[in-house]
Chains A and B, each alone.
Chain A
């Protein structure tokens, strides 16, 4: 009993000590206190150059509290429940549309925004948010195919249909996302990746089950690790993930498949519950500055929608047709639209059916 009591006392003392130290450190760094000099940024993990946050803090005096999410849906749920008030978050285009429809976003006050002219016109005024009433593009990218030149020759993979070739048996990794995988099947058949047509969807699912023998695994970000370790020859993934893999393994290459692929755009938006509007606008304007957008693009590896920033990037990056495709390729891409809850369910059920299908 005596030992038990002393054990409890020791544990309490250690926790108290750690707690006080943490509190002290946070106060030194200025985290504690939700005063007016704070910006609550809710972003994807590892989606900003930390040096830029420091720069922003030095320049403006605001303290940035950076919190992360790993899917649009989990971010949506958290914003909707409204427990924490975030000042800025970064949804993808279809999620901007849904959040807008659910009145979770605050319209942008254009008079407080600077640098909007830096945003390339092809990423402005798109269907998910006409006139950029609510959103400022942050990064964009495509869905495509990564292959390892140890196992696959150049030119063997140029279209989505090439994934079905028997030579890739048990050698393809897919990203675990119903929209992207059903989308690639739809696009390979020349349909819209936003279709509501049940026949087209069923056909796509039928086509996907034929892909099953080639599928090694259906994963999320773990794909990067496996591809870098030469575990698999081919992966269907996003351009930014591809950039990261390629920088760690020079045998990897990224292809934008024909006939068309998905173009996605992540955007800065201000949720309705935001409390520090001034800081939020300061941050958007800060990120719109070409030198900052360029630095961020170099760190994160996705493509920047900021035109002057693109020009600042090293020539080999900006001339890489897979990451900064020509206007004609972009013209053929498809941007996802919010399907609504019911159709989202249909897509997911079909995807689950595909994953359940055994060889």
Chain B
């Protein structure tokens, strides 16, 4: 019996060891070597003493935060609305549909829309606002990034709301809570799990976005992903690239811990 159980662990164990533990160990190991191949802490020293890298880290976190905030702002009402609709599976499918299309393709489509000769600009000229520089601006970067991340925020929130038993809402109404009180005291806290996993699955990939920073942001938006790409492909300074990678991993772990911890606290509070 015990042996049989062990057998089931093999695929999982192998997967974790080969594709999770080994790469992380390698990145951490690599980050302690300078470009000449000597063991050193200098990569970390460079990172924390360089205004460029710290500013870049700040940029990454700030843009990831903005993307997450905007997607959340759009997604929660959307997910809530979807749950009230008649054919909710169909509407949900329509939102998931764009994720079936290759990311690069969608980004290029946006280039066509937002460029000087694109339809958005023609429309702006038509209604009298006049041509505007749309590509290579913070606004267009945030817009495209939000567009790409939104399904990953809507889905978990949608599921959380769908699981919420209507009897809670009814009880709250019966006991005299107003619509807003019902939402802020009952619905939102009970669907917080969905919000948290949505935030995780948007914030973490947004930290290291780099293709959109180039194609839509025109490299006017520089995040840590750009620096990693440069260190691995151009300068061949894998140590420094790995150091930035380690810092990103740490940032992600912190995000997970923050969103995870609050969840349990929240639960106990509401259990009272």
Contacts and interface: CB of A to CB of B under 8 A. Distances in A.
A150 B132 CA distance: 18
Contacts of B235: 341, 344-345, 348
Contacts of B116: 229-231
Interface stretch (B25-33, B170-178, B181-189, B215-223): B215-223
Contact of A348 (B55, B117, B219, B234): B234
A345 B215 contact: no
A217 interface: yes
Given A176-B219, A217-B219, A341-B236, 20 more contacts: A73-B233, A73-B234, A176-B214, A216-B133, A216-B136, A217-B136, A217-B218, A220-B214, A229-B115, A231-B116, A345-B35, A345-B240, A352-B56, A352-B222, A352-B227, A355-B219, A355-B222, A356-B52, A356-B55, A356-B59
B230 interface: yes
B237 interface: yes
Interface in B112-129: 115-117
Interface residues of B, number: 29
A74 interface: yes
Q: How large is the interface on A (under 10, 10 to 19, 20 to 34, 35 or more residues)?
A: 20 to 34
B72 interface: no
B222 A356 contact: yes
A71 interface: yes
A341 B239 CA distance: 13
B220 A217 contact: yes
A345 B215 CA distance: 24
Nearest to B238: A77
Nearest to A171: B133
B230 A352 contact: yes
Interface in A43-80: 71, 73-74, 76-77
A348 B230 contact: yes
A356 B215 CA distance: 16
Contacts of B135: 217, 231
Interface string A337-359: 00001101100110011011000
Chain A binding surface SS class: helix
B115 to A, nearest CB: 5
16 contacts: A71-B234, A77-B233, A170-B133, A176-B219, A217-B219, A218-B220, A219-B218, A222-B215, A226-B115, A230-B117, A341-B36, A341-B236, A348-B230, A348-B231, A352-B222, A356-B56
A77 B236 CA distance: 9
A218 B218 contact: yes
A71 B233 contact: yes
A114 interface: no
Nearest to B46: A349
A219 B215 CA distance: 8
A132 interface: no
A71 B235 CA distance: 12
A341 B219 contact: no
Nearest to B240: A345
A209 interface: no
A178 B115 CA distance: 26
Given A231-B135, A352-B227, A73 B117 contact: no
A222 B59 CA distance: 24
A97 to B, nearest CB: 15
Closest 5 CB pairs of A and B: A217-B218, A218-B219, A217-B136, A348-B235, A231-B116
Nearest to A341: B35
B115 A219 contact: no
A231 B214 CA distance: 16
Contacts of A173: 218
Nearest to B35: A341
A178 B229 CA distance: 14
Contacts of A222: 111, 215
Contacts of A231: 115-117, 135
B222 to A, nearest CB: 5
Nearest to B112: A229
A73 B233 CA distance: 6
Interface in A167-203: 170, 173, 176, 178
